[in-house]
Amino acid sequence: MGHSPKRSLKRTHVPSSSDLDVIDLSDEDEPKSPSLLPSGSEAGPNDAGKRWPADYPVNDIVRFFGDCGDHPKEKLSSVFQRHFPNVPFPRSTYYDNLKRWKTAKQVVRNGAMGKKWSVFVAKARKK
């Protein structure tokens, strides 16, 4: 019951592909059961090796941003863990990416839905 999975975290900066700080993580124990995940979220038991936010769908990240606004008294880290349960909360990355989303042109945001966050970032830079 009090056992938590061992994790290996590595923070890297990837300037050429996404200009984002990313966190690679891998669990040494079994991941959480899919039934414990929020419905509609892409975050799940196969998240080991995924980089947040670059490898996550724009839809999931935008849903998270909206949920933060809907629950202003709840800690950001708690809302984040509901949406991305296998990813440690990266506070500075959250604010950087929220700003990136809010300042992007609407046409770029609309075109990014259904794609990975890294695709959105690359297109937002071009416009």
The answer to whether position 49 is within a domain reads yes
Q: How confident is the model at residue 13 (pLDDT cuts 50, 70, 90)?
A: very low
Q: Which of the pair, 36 or 20, is modelled with greater confidence?
A: 20
Separation of alpha carbons 123 and 8, rounded Å: 31
User: Do residues 87 and 32 lie in contact, with contact meaning Cβ atoms separated by under 8 Å?
Assistant: no
Is 51 inside any structural domain? yes
The pLDDT tens digits of the residues spanning 80-124 come to: 999 999 898 888 888 899 999 999 999 999 999 999 999 999 999
Residue 76 counted as domain residue: yes
Q: Is the pLDDT score of 18 beyond 90?
A: no
The residues, ordered by sequence, that sit 6+ positions from 107 with a Cβ below 8 Å of its Cβ are 127
d(CA 78, CA 83): 9
State both tokens at 100: 């990136």
pLDDT band at 12 (very low <50, low <70, confident <90, very high): very low
| Residue carrying the six token digits 């975050």 | 43
What is the rounded average pLDDT for all residues in the chain? 74
How crowded is residue 60: how many other Cβ atoms within 10 Å of its Cβ? 18
Provide the whole-model pTM: 0.62
Report the C-alpha gap between 28 and 15 in whole angstroms. 29
Structural domain contains residue 2: no
- Tell me, yes or no, whether 1 lies in a domain: no
What is the rounded distance in angstroms from the CA atom of residue 11 to the CA atom of residue 7? 13
pLDDT band at 127 (very low <50, low <70, confident <90, very high): low
pLDDT at 45 over 80: no
- Beta carbons of 8 and 86 less than 8 angstroms apart: no
Give the count of domains, the chain.
Answer: 1
> What are the E-state strand segments in the chain?
7-14, 20-27
Please report the pLDDT score of residue 46 as a whole number.
Answer: 61
